[in-house]
Chains A and B, each alone.
Chain A
């Protein structure tokens, strides 16, 4: 295998090609029909093929052309930010908005290089109070405020 000289081209080519293959493979069971009577498989299959073709060209270019390296200084923000979002999603129904909001703010704050526990806890409590007032009472959105075991 030749060396990857342009990782951004190569990587995006790989990504698009995989999406294209997935679209074709998963959609293989959808009836294609004819041009005059297009089945549900017609359009997605065409798109999958185009994506695969573009992906192949990009992979080729990734091997043949020179390009800048990928810069991934740290994976910490990615993991912490999205982890805390998932945590919020999992917590909001059983624990209610107040606790879920505090959890989200406190955990996501850790991703900053200027992180400070005391400050983030204060911010979390204030923000939780604000969103309950603004969203639950102000806008009347349907969100449980308190944990299920406390009684709502």
Chain B
């Protein structure tokens, strides 16, 4: 079977000493930042990009991917023990996970979260392996018009599935596209929006944008509140589940995995949406929904499986279409470009070792994560006791060194500070920064495909509507917009996101 050959190739790449080491380093770091509230995978991956210069591309990608799905494991630990989402995707795990901990079942909640994540991660690895080849073959037929429409669809989907105001999110995308244009125009060689600053002729560094908007802004907002954390660290024992509990959790894990694998593939999908959808489903189909919010094991098992499946499945649009479905994947695009790999459908054929090696490493990484998160849970619990006042200056320092070393240039550090201010303003105005980063990455690609499509059609915009694939994607985008504006859907969406933030 072809699939087995591919996976065999992948494992032969992933099982080299160097790649195992980098997978381990990635998932270790992912767990670490997942456990720590206040730093997520976006600034971490941004911070480590310069470090990956020196590595072979495959090791670099294996490590960066490990950070992302590793963070989903680590995030659940904090959600369960501290009632704080260590990762934004563990928001819903707080609800029932923390209640389980308060009833002395912290160990069981951690077990079911880790085992569910492992099962989901393994299935999602297979889903990627099965779906990626046909999808990328399909994508090879795309012309510029299809690519443009696909990006429109992806950006709209990202907006619709995100929380908060629709109009603001669209504006954030457009602002991102504009910021992405800063620098030298590839066609005319003209400098655009550089204001005579030589450093801007290569464009604004996306690491600086990501770090400022996500990393610095979050630290500042955290420091504005005089919060105090309560940590359940005394009774993390009894990791073993009873047969009865296992029977309750298993269907939720299966459903969560399916939901995550499906939603992760969608543009705009990923870990957070999957976790949330899974929680809603579990609550809807439960015989006794009143148990939810009071320590229901399904409320941990479902979302934790879903967020891990979702985070891995979101690699599919990146690897097959070259379109990042969320902010982390946008950074992965950057990582691939650093190593002069153009993300897109051709990666699988031109670079099969990289492609299958990365996929195989995800399964290996998941095995490592179970070991890291169950037997070694005590270490992570100790880490939770490090006070924030010591933590954030360290995060700042690592971020600054990371940004500086990207180009060995002080200018990037200053740009990051500017985006820190902007990020803070966005938090205050309740504008989500993720769509901006997506737009920022897609800006140049979108302009180029628009230009090419219109050049080929001699300026006729109907080209986007006469080609069936392109038309289909635009209709899908329009439908998404219409659906979300409908009052009934809007209401449930608002309620849904409210519940999430509660």
Could you list which residues of chain B lie within 8 angstroms of chain A, going by C-beta atoms?
Answer: 50-51, 54, 165, 167-168, 170-171, 174-175, 177-178, 181, 185, 187-188, 190, 192-193, 195, 216, 219-221, 223-226, 387-390, 392-394, 396-398, 400-401, 404-405, 408, 410, 413-414, 416-417, 420-421, 424-425, 428-431, 446-447, 450-451, 454-455, 457-461
Is A19's CB within 8 Å of the partner chain B? Answer: yes
Contacts of A15 in B (CB 8 A): 425, 429
A36 to B453, CA, bound (A): 9
Determine which of B168, B405, B461 lies in contact with A142 in the assembled complex, contact meaning CB atoms within 8 Å.
B405
Contacts of B185 in A (CB 8 A): 40
Q: Are A54 and B167 in contact (CB under 8 A)?
A: yes
Q: Are B51 and A123 in contact (CB under 8 A)?
A: no
User: Residues 1-32 of chain A: 1 if any B CB is under 8 Å from the residue's CB, otherwise 0?
Assistant: 00000001101100110010001001100110
Is A111's CB within 8 Å of the partner chain B? Answer: yes
Q: Are A38 and B394 in contact (CB under 8 A)?
A: no
A54 to B461, CA, bound (A): 23
Task: Describe B's contact surface by its main secondary structure.
Answer: helix
A71 to B188, CA, bound (A): 45
Q: Are B461 and A81 in contact (CB under 8 A)?
A: no
Q: Are B187 and A58 in contact (CB under 8 A)?
A: no
Number of A-B contacts (CB under 8 A): 187
Determine which of A34, A38, A92, A109 lies in contact with B404 in the assembled complex, contact meaning CB atoms within 8 Å.
A92
Q: Are A143 and B181 in contact (CB under 8 A)?
A: no
Contacts of A57 in B (CB 8 A): 167
Q: Are A90 and B410 in contact (CB under 8 A)?
A: yes
Task: Describe A's contact surface by its main secondary structure.
Answer: helix
Could you list which residues of chain A lie within 8 angstroms of chain B, going by C-beta atoms?
Answer: 8-9, 11-12, 15-16, 19, 23, 26-27, 30-31, 34-40, 42-44, 47-48, 50-51, 54-55, 57-58, 70-74, 77-78, 81-82, 84-86, 88-90, 92-93, 97, 101, 104-105, 108-109, 111-116, 119-120, 123-124, 127, 131, 135, 139-143
Contacts of B171 in A (CB 8 A): 12, 16, 51, 54-55, 58
Determine which of A43, A89, A108 lies in contact with B447 in the assembled complex, contact meaning CB atoms within 8 Å.
A43
